[in-house]
Amino acid sequence: MSSHHISFNRNHAVSTVSAASLQVRALTPGSLSQVTLLRAATKAGFYIFLHTRRFPSNTLTHNSGGDSQTIAQVVQWTIEYYKADKIKIFNVMEATYPDGFAPNIVYSSTCANRQSTATTQKWAQGVFDMYLNYNGMRSKMQIYQCSSDSTLGPNNYKETMKQWTDIYNYDKLESTKSNSPQSGYTRVIHDSMLECIYICTGVGHTVPIRGADDMKYLGLA
């Protein structure tokens, strides 16, 4: 199956590609110029939906339009049309669409203002405001970030963890494992629902995709 576009209206479109045809994966919103191989997709046999441009501001609020809502609509259509298994649908839109999706894996995708600082409660409220009055379950989350990232500095990592530890209601670390999953990486575990892989080697903003590990975390291997 070749990649193609599905349009739900004239303003919003996403592309969908099958595992068999997938050769590249976008690393930055709206751009396919920076890519990496994701061979695990072919082995696991799943579809990946990618937005085709940078998100407008309204996409940061639940059901307010923008590419995030379009992706959510495409997913819902896929569930209904192909009878897809809901527990095997994964996303990186935990703030705006936490319902209806399974675990999240985020690579170098926190806010890109290296100097942003706020209280734990304020960061968490920013997420809660994206989907007002949502009181349902949230999926487990794994976050990858590198200390030498010139776009997302170490401060971004600290602020991100302040945000999500409050959302998941964690007030302390469960464990820290050095050289996990490989040398130079540190696995920081807050609980079964939240962990971060912090990298102290010079991989920069483009953290290498760990396809096999991703499949295990998502329960597909």
Cα(97)–Cα(107) distance, integer angstroms: 18
More confident residue, 157 or 188: 188
Q: Say whether both 139 and 202 belong to one domain.
A: yes
pLDDT at 84: 80
Among the three residues 27, 52, 84, which one is the final residue of a domain in this structure?
Answer: 84
The label of the residue with tokens 């996303």 reads 91
The label of the residue with tokens 């050769």 reads 23
Q: Say whether both 108 and 36 belong to one domain.
A: no
Does residue 121 belong to any structural domain of this protein? Answer: yes
- Mean pLDDT, the chain, as a whole number? 75
Query: Which tokens hold the place of 13?
Result: 């479109």
Q: Say whether both 108 and 61 belong to one domain.
A: no
Does residue 91 belong to any structural domain of this protein? Answer: no
pLDDT at 108: 79
Query: Which tokens hold the place of 142?
Result: 């794994």
Residue 181 has pLDDT above 60, yes or no: yes
Q: Say whether both 100 and 201 belong to one domain.
A: yes
Does residue 115 belong to any structural domain of this protein? Answer: yes
User: Tens digits of per-residue pLDDT, 73-123?
Assistant: 888 888 888 788 888 888 778 889 998 678 888 887 666 556 778 899 999
Does residue 29 belong to any structural domain of this protein? Answer: yes
Q: Where are the alpha helices (DSSP H) in 83-169?
A: 120-130, 154-167
Does residue 40 belong to any structural domain of this protein? Answer: yes
Q: Say whether both 77 and 104 belong to one domain.
A: no
pLDDT at 31: 34
Among the three residues 51, 84, 117, which one is the final residue of a domain in this structure?
Answer: 84
Cα(69)–Cα(157) distance, integer angstroms: 27
Range picked from 2-6, 63-67, 120-124 for highest mean pLDDT: 120-124
* 61: phi then psi, degrees, rounded to nearest 5: -125, 135
Among the three residues 33, 61, 84, which one is the final residue of a domain in this structure?
Answer: 84
Q: Say whether both 63 and 32 belong to one domain.
A: yes
Q: Say whether both 69 and 141 belong to one domain.
A: no
Query: Which tokens hold the place of 164?
Result: 């999500």
Q: Say whether both 104 and 80 belong to one domain.
A: no
Does residue 89 belong to any structural domain of this protein? Answer: no
Residue 51 has pLDDT above 60, yes or no: yes
Residue 148 has pLDDT above 60, yes or no: yes
Does residue 90 belong to any structural domain of this protein? Answer: no
Q: Say whether both 122 and 164 belong to one domain.
A: yes
Q: Say whether both 208 and 151 belong to one domain.
A: yes
User: What's the structural domain count of the chain?
Assistant: 2
pLDDT at 207: 83
Count of alpha carbons within 13 Å of 195, Cβ hemisphere only? 17
Range of the domain at 27: 1-84
pLDDT at 4: 33
Residues 6+ apart with CB under 8 A from 155: 114, 115, 116, 117
User: Tens digits of per-residue pLDDT, 115-135?
Assistant: 778 899 999 999 999 999 999
Average pLDDT over residues 45-73: 75
How many C-beta atoms surround the C-beta of residue 57 within 10 A?
8
Q: What is the pTM for the complete model shown?
A: 0.76
More confident residue, 13 or 63: 63
Bridge partners of 5, per DSSP, are: 15
pLDDT at 22: 38
Cα(66)–Cα(101) distance, integer angstroms: 18
Q: Say whether both 141 and 200 belong to one domain.
A: yes
User: How would residue 166 be classed by pLDDT, with cut points 50, 70 and 90?
Assistant: very high
Does residue 198 belong to any structural domain of this protein? Answer: yes
Q: Say whether both 66 and 109 belong to one domain.
A: no
